[in-house]
Amino acid sequence: MNSKSKLLNNIGNFVIFIGPSLIAFSCVLLIPLIYGVYLTFTNYSPIKLTYEFVGFSNFQAVFTDKEFWQQFVKTLGYVFYSTIFCNVIAFLLAYLLTSNIKARGFLRAGFFTPNLIGGIVLGYIWKFIFANVFTKVGDALGYQPLMTSFLTHPDRAIIAMIIVTVWQYAGYLMIIYIAGFVGIPQEVQEASEIDGATGFKKLCSITIPLMVPSFIICFFIVISRGFMTYDLNLALTNGQPYGSTRLAAMHIYQKAFQANEYGIGQAEAIIFFATVAIVAVSQVLLTKKFEVEA
Amino acid sequence: MKEKKNVFKFAKYVLIYILLILFMMPFYLMVINSFKTTQQFVNNPFSLPKLEKVGFGNYISAFNKMNFLNAIRNSTIITLISVLLILLTASMAAYFLVRHKWKINKIIFATLIASMIVPFQAIMIPLVSIYGRLNLMNSKWILIFMYMGFGQGFAIFIFHGFIKNIPLEMEESALIDGCSKIQSFFQIVFPLLKPVLVTVLILDVLWIWNDYLLPSLVLLSPIERTLPLSTYSFFTTYSVDYAPLMAGIVLTIIPVLIVYLFSQKYIIEGVVQGAIK
């Protein structure tokens, strides 16, 4: 084969093997992302016929939009608490399930089940639980805070969001932690026991340091998904009461598709993207520092 | 000492089963209340239903109002075709990226990996703007094409990691025997990918089947609705009458649970593999 036909052959193969992937990826992700940056400098709106360049005024509008930043901070809080509670409960479950316990497979499958269901359906399930079940329990126990639905209370509605998020992701993270527990070499465990480390001491000085990779993954999963939460937010609270649970993703959606402000909405989305990237990457870098070799 | 150990063990069982009951409670409540009238449900959500009173009435009404068969058919078509296209195109692309270390390929791979961190919200507005103006909305096929694009990053990442460890020798001898690149990929490499194909398949099915936001932006007419879309519209239209809504939820969950029951081991294994890579 001479070099020219080899080149042609290579190009042909490139088109066949990578072409379909690359076209789909570019058309739905790459081009929109670039076009999105362009949009932030215009006052484009689907209900207007023309649009013009507006420079940085969209970003200016976002930076002075108090409501957006309130909801932004709320989102950070939601992500923070969800990450903590999801991981604590998932770790506890994984710890219990890897200890000498019967019916492990059954238990694991049970805890994982909420993950199979989409945010819309989960939101509706819990809407009933908060509105009709918890209130009944509150009445029966005579416990004041439970008597009215969490969802009608501006401060507690966000707690409701966190509870459902924990319920949804704890089982998912649990199976990643189980894999982490199982992956700790047998020799290390035995050696530590001979050295007198048992129970809680062993957990803190042997198990947890060796499971840092699992922590990185699990934190990353909740952080990145937490920021993007939309379905659950929509079905469970729809931002109510009084907009107290409108998370950043929902704010962007409403800015774009209800207020028809594509430019401002996209400027918010870019700021949002930058935040997600910074938080997720710094989490990984920070946690990596604790990594040790077995 | 032994007694103390037994107490500890007992406490562990109690704790884990209490947690399991708490986790399962919402499902249980859904099911029992789906057989009640709204009045019975509001009065006491914990009581067992009296079957002769309501029976499957709520289910029949939910089934019809949600246009359930149509929705499940749409969901199935969209999920299956999207996932098959992702598996096929991403595995081919990953193979080519591993076997040809050209500069352009490295750039492509890096771009794909970097794209995984982009939240959908950053794409959503321009996506709607572009496809809306091209008049391409409201079609299953456009939605499938979008899933195919959004699925590439993760799938190629997983396949790339796996193919890297497949030795070259077998393909080389096949190429010498006169096989084309395509033939050697499908006859030699593709069958070896089975474990990672299953991983990507499971994760992508869960993602696409349950996705709400993207189809809600693309599929505008009721006839095209997927299951999450029809659940949502059912709720916003009929939110006065609670009981049929419960039945609607149970109906939506059942297909997933049936599949889970039979492939539980693969699903959990797939999720673990997808996460730790």
Give the pLDDT band (50/70/90) at residue A208: confident
Does the pLDDT at position B133 exceed 60?
yes
Higher pLDDT, A116 or A101: A116
**Per-residue pLDDT for B212 more than 90?**
yes
Mean pLDDT across A234-248: 85
Query: What is the reported pLDDT for B147?
Result: 96
Collapse the DSSP code of B227 into the 3-class scheme (helix H, G, I; strand E, B; otherwise coil) and give the result: helix
Mean pLDDT confidence for B209-235? 90
Buried residues in A162-194 as b, exposed as e (16+ CB within 10 A): bbbbbbbbbbbbbbbbbbbbeebeeeeeeebee
Residue B23: which of A26, A114, A118 has the nearest Cβ? Answer: A114
pLDDT score of B179: 80
How far off is chain A from B52, nearest CA to CA, in Å? 24
List the single residue in B121, B132, B181 with the smallest CB-CB distance to A272. Answer: B121
pLDDT above 80 for B222: yes
Which phi and psi (to 5°) does residue B101 adopt?
A: -85, 50
Q: Which residue has the higher pLDDT, B128 or B275?
A: B128
CB-based contact B16 A230, cutoff 8 Å? no
CATH superfamily placement of domain B62-276: MetI-like (1.10.3720.10)
Q: What is the pLDDT at residue B174?
A: 80
Which residues lie closer than 8 Å to B229 by C-beta, 6 or more apart? B71, B212, B215, B216, B219
**B82: chain A residues, CB-CB within 8 Å:** none
Q: What are phi and psi of A144, to 5 degrees?
A: -50, -55
B residues 157-176 closer than 8 Å to A (CB): none
Tell me which chain A residues have a C-beta less than 8 angstroms from the C-beta of B96. 13-14, 17-18
pLDDT classification of B2: cutoffs 50, 70, 90: low
pLDDT for the residue numbered B126? 93
- Which residues in chain B are contacts of A33 at CB distance < 8 A? 118, 122-123, 126
pLDDT of residue A294: 55
Q: What is the pLDDT of residue B51?
A: 66
Percent of chain A's residues with pLDDT above 70: 98
**φ, ψ for residue B199, nearest 5 deg:** -55, -50
Please list every residue in chain A whose beta carbon sits closer than 8 Å to the beta carbon of residue B121. 228, 230, 248-249, 252-253, 269, 272-273
Query: Which residue, among A37, A120, A122, A281, would best test binding to B if mutated, counting the most B CBs under 10 Å from its CB?
Result: A120
B132 contacts on A by Cβ (under 8 Å): 46
How high is the pLDDT of residue A196?
A: 74
The model carries a pTM of: 0.89
pLDDT tens-digit map of A39-74: 889 888 777 777 888 888 889 888 888 888 989 999
For residue A181, name the pLDDT band (cuts at 50, 70, 90): confident
Higher pLDDT, B152 or A183: B152
What percent of chain B has pLDDT above 70? 97
Q: Where are the domains of chain A?
A: 59-288
Calpha distance B177→B270 (Å, rounded): 36
pLDDT, mean of residues A252-276: 90
Assigned CATH topology for domain A59-288: MetI-like fold (1.10.3720)
Band the pLDDT of B44: cuts 50, 70, 90.
Answer: confident
CA-to-CA distance for A275 and A252, rounded, in angstroms? 14
pLDDT at B53: 67
**Long-range contacts of range B251-255, CB-CB < 8 Å, 24 or more positions apart?**
B251/B59, B251/B62, B251/B63, B251/B66, B251/B68, B252/A121, B252/B227, B252/B228, B253/A117, B253/A121, B253/B27, B253/B30, B255/B72
Q: How confident is the model at residue A1 (pLDDT cuts 50, 70, 90)?
A: low
Is the ipTM value over 0.85, yes or no?
A: yes
Average pLDDT, chain B: 87
Long-range contacts of A278-282 (CB under 8 A, 24+ apart): A279/A79, A279/A223, A279/A227, A280/A220, A280/A223, A280/A224, A280/B117, A281/B117
Mean pLDDT value of segment B3-31: 87
